[in-house]
Chains A and B, each alone.
Chain A
Amino acid sequence: MTHETASSLQPPKVIFSPIGWMREHLFSSVWNSILTLITLYILWLLVPPVIEWAFLKASWVGTSRDDCTPGGACWVFIAQRWSQFMYGFYPEALRWRVDLAGILAVLWGGPLLFQRFPWKKLFGFSFLIGYPLIAWWLLYGGDLFGMTTVPTDQWGGLMLTLVIAAVGIAGAMPLGILFALGRRSELPVIKAVSIAFIEFWRGVPLISVLFMSSVMLPLFLPEGMNFDKLVRALIAVVLFQAAYIAEVVRGGLQAIPKGQYEAAQALGLNYWQMMGLIILPQALKLVIPGIVNTFIALFKDTSLVIIIGLSDFFMIIHRATVDPAWLGFATEGYVFAAAVYWIFCFGMSRYSIALEKRLNTDHRR
């Protein structure tokens, strides 16, 4: 028996070597090696033809279909129709208004996405109240202060998609929160009404709702009373989305410990004070990722307005693919549309994940 302290061993050497990494991550067992080989084979089958089609053999510059070489993608089609895809049939001379509204949104609302931005309150409140008015004035005009009216049936393209998505989420948030509170209310009638509302909108497909709002709504209104078609679609989208938001918010409300409610009541706060000051701030923070996910779903759902003939981004592209002058480039159109939707949705989902990490003030673990 020895009484000497054994000399401590060196920590195992961590040397990064490509072969070592591959051994560990790709070929650690027979099964794993087979999987790796199969995956490589699939990649070999898929990737080279796609790259060849999309880049190597693709045509980028030109003005008509004759400038496109067969065998590769014809991005000329996208380039030629670019402005239509972005603005729809918005009058060309007035497109600066759309651009301005977009730039304002980025400069005014964009900073709110950053945690460390100092004037968040100032920007936040002014944005929430001021921006919708200004955006409406810029996009629609309404002959106020010398702005020519651009009727909504001339709106289109990516711009319309963004308008629908933005109004959808902005309208659905407050409504959704109300219905979430209603569903957890102790008043039986309020609760029943909320449940019925939520379950109804979650249960029916959006396209049937859009169909109703686009052609059937006037049947339910007095003769002569009518709204703009876009507004009706927006109302449908808001109601539909509010039901989903309500369920997300309800999840957050359920996660707040009962002690918080009791503490608020002990302080003598009434219902709305309790909810507005204590419960909702905590609950909403919990469900931000869920809300972003709902928004992503909404953004994708905007493509369904194709059913009611609004010229949103996807509709404009779909229509361009059947234009005799550009027949046979449907794949390019769809790929472009897919890429744009993908960039928006993927970007938002990354942001949501980052937010989730940052807001993680969970003490339960």
Chain B
Amino acid sequence: MKPSRSAFLSWIYDPKIRGIIAQVVTLVVLGLLVGWLAHNAVTNLAARGIASGFDFLNDPAGFGILQTLIPYTESDTYARVFVIGLLNTLLVSALGIVAATILGFIMGVARLSKNALVSALATVYIETFRNIPPLLQIFFWYFAVLQAMPSPRQSLGWFDAVFLNIRGLYLPRPIPTEAVTAFVVAVVLAFALWWVIARWAKRRQDETGQPFPVFWTGLGLVVLLPYLASLVFGSPFTWELPQLRGFNFVGGWVMIPELVALWVALSIYTSAFIAEIVRAGILAVPHGQTEAAMALGLTPQQRLRLVILPQAMRVIIPPLTSQYLNLTKNSSLAAAIGYPDLVGLFAGTVLNQTGQAIETIAMAMAVYLTISIMISLFMNWYNKRMALVER
């Protein structure tokens, strides 16, 4: 008996076997837990006569929505409402990401400025906005913006084309004419030429060391070619101007205050974090790099653009993407001020009209998870591409 006993002991002490046992136990426990929860949910739903399944998506919604990026009427389905909410979430996230990045880079560089006043102001900005909860900031901007704005009949107007009042910012809307094709072709052509010139200039610089002002040439092309096109073929757009009719302005593009408040709050909040990331990134580039670039005779601009930033970006990008993800998730606070985003509209109004909490919440969560996974994938790809190739 003794040998088998020791065999059993060694068997139980074998890390591999133990690992397998631990994993099996984990799986079983998890499976039981999930099964138990699902069983409860199913029993409860059935016992209370709550409908389940995704059939409700084909039912007509029957309510109005404040901001729709695609055409929508009350007789459209809940599925379309889902898409509208999703697009609204993406819109405010995209706007926020752009603004937060620009603001954040400015503030991050400003904090490193040699100008004491500028860096002090940037420090105050960063420390103020990143230490106040975003929800509070959204409320503050929304109600502050609202209280300061004039009513539609007293709106601020510029050139009878742009109007600002409590209902939003009204801009002229471009309506494409027949000449729009030529215009688009010209734009595409300009960018293509820019790319060609950039490649040519790089090769020439590699061979001869002669630099070429690629950026200014390119910019000139992008402005000039479409301008020429519109001269030859006529204006590509006519502009629909907003007009006061009844209670409100009609026509044109309108940016609603809910969007503005959310956008401003999210951008400022996130920019404070981005500024710190940018600062850390720039500081991470050893000073020797600057000195080496100076020794090569690069101008300050070239130093920043060709030497410092590319190295800093390697440090900046990963935390930057996670800030983008945070911003997207924070956009779900929209519900608090009535911006019809995915959570407010779909996991809110639709949930309530249909009573199907599990399905709607699951769909909303799935969207955020997908966005999050996509951003993670991008980050992995970028990290691989940018990783230092060490010898």
Residues of A within 8 A of B (CB): 25-26, 28, 32, 35-36, 39-40, 42-43, 186-190, 193, 199-200, 202-208, 211-212, 215-216, 218-223, 271, 296, 300-301, 303-304, 306-307, 314, 318, 330-331, 334, 337-338, 341-342, 345-346, 349
Asked, given contacts A190-B23, A222-B40, A338-B132, whether A331 binds B144 with beta carbons under 8 Å apart, the answer is yes
Judged by DSSP, the binding face of B is helix
In the bound assembly, the distance between CA atoms of A211 and B361 in angstroms comes to: 9
Q: Contact between B143 and A330 (Cβ–Cβ < 8 Å)? A: yes
Contact A208 B121, beta carbon cutoff 8 Å: no
A227 to B245, CA, bound (A): 54
Given A39-B121, A212-B361, verify A220-B131 contact (CB < 8 Å): no
Q: Does B19 contact A (CB under 8 A)?
A: yes
Residues of B within 8 A of A (CB): 15, 19, 22-23, 26-27, 30, 37, 40-41, 43-45, 47, 113-118, 121, 127-128, 130-137, 139-140, 143-144, 325, 329-330, 332-333, 335-336, 343, 347, 357-358, 361, 364-365, 368-369, 371-373, 376
Are B41 and A35 in contact, with the CB atoms below 8 A? Answer: no
Instruction: Please tell me which one of the listed residues B116, B133, B368 contacts residue A341 in the complex, with CB atoms under 8 A apart.
Output: B133
CB distance from A82 to the nearest CB of B (A): 19
Contact among A36, A39, A203, A346 with B373 in the assembled complex (CB-CB below 8 Å):
A203
* B114 in contact with A304 (CB, 8 Å): no
> Are the C-beta atoms of A219 and B343 separated by less than 8 Å?
no
Q: How far is it, in angstroms, between the C-alpha of A199 and the C-alpha of B325 when the chains are bound?
A: 12
24 contacts between A and B (CB under 8 A): A25-B115, A35-B115, A35-B118, A39-B115, A39-B117, A39-B118, A42-B121, A43-B121, A188-B23, A193-B30, A199-B369, A199-B372, A202-B325, A203-B371, A208-B343, A211-B361, A218-B44, A221-B40, A223-B47, A300-B132, A301-B133, A303-B136, A307-B335, A318-B139
Give bound CA distance, A219 to B117, whole Å. 57
Chain B residue with minimal CB distance to A337? B136
CA distance A212 to B368 in the complex (A): 15
Closest A-B pairs by Cβ, 10 of them? A203-B372, A345-B131, A189-B23, A205-B332, A25-B116, A300-B133, A303-B133, A203-B369, A205-B329, A220-B37
For A202, give the chain B residue with the smallest CB separation. Answer: B372
CA distance in complex: A165, B174 (Å): 50
Partner of B368, one of A43, A205, A314, A331: A205
- Known contacts being A35-B115, A36-B115, A306-B135, is A219 close to B45, with CB within 8 Å? yes
- Complex interface: chain B residues within 8 A of A341 (CB): 131-133, 136
A199 and B376 contacting across the interface, CB-CB below 8 Å? yes
Task: Check A342/B121 contact, CB under 8 A, given A25-B115, A204-B365, A318-B139.
Answer: no
Evaluate contact between A193 and B136: CB separation under 8 angstroms.
no
CB distance from A335 to the nearest CB of B (A): 8
Per the bound structure, the CA–CA distance linking A210 and B134 in Å amounts to: 17
> Beyond A26-B115, A36-B115, A341-B132, is A215–B357 a contact (Cβ under 8 Å)?
yes
Q: Output the residue of B115, B143, B325, B361 with the most chain A CB within 10 A.
A: B115
Minimum CB–CB distance for B171 against chain A, Å:
26
B30 touches A36 (CB 8 A): no
Cα–Cα, bound, A296→B371 (Å): 25
* Given A216-B358, A341-B133; 14 other pairs, CB 8 A cutoff: A35-B118, A187-B22, A187-B23, A189-B27, A190-B26, A202-B325, A203-B368, A204-B368, A204-B369, A204-B372, A205-B330, A221-B40, A223-B47, A342-B132
- Bound CA span A342–B133, Å: 9
Q: Are A193 and B357 touching (Cβ within 8 A)?
A: no
Query: Which residue of B has the minimal Cβ distance to A342?
Result: B131
Kindly list chain B residues whose C-beta atoms are within 8 Å of the C-beta of A188.
23
C-alpha gap A208/B43 in the complex (Å): 23
Q: Kindly provide the distance from the CB of B103 to the nearest chain A CB, expressed in whole angstroms.
A: 15
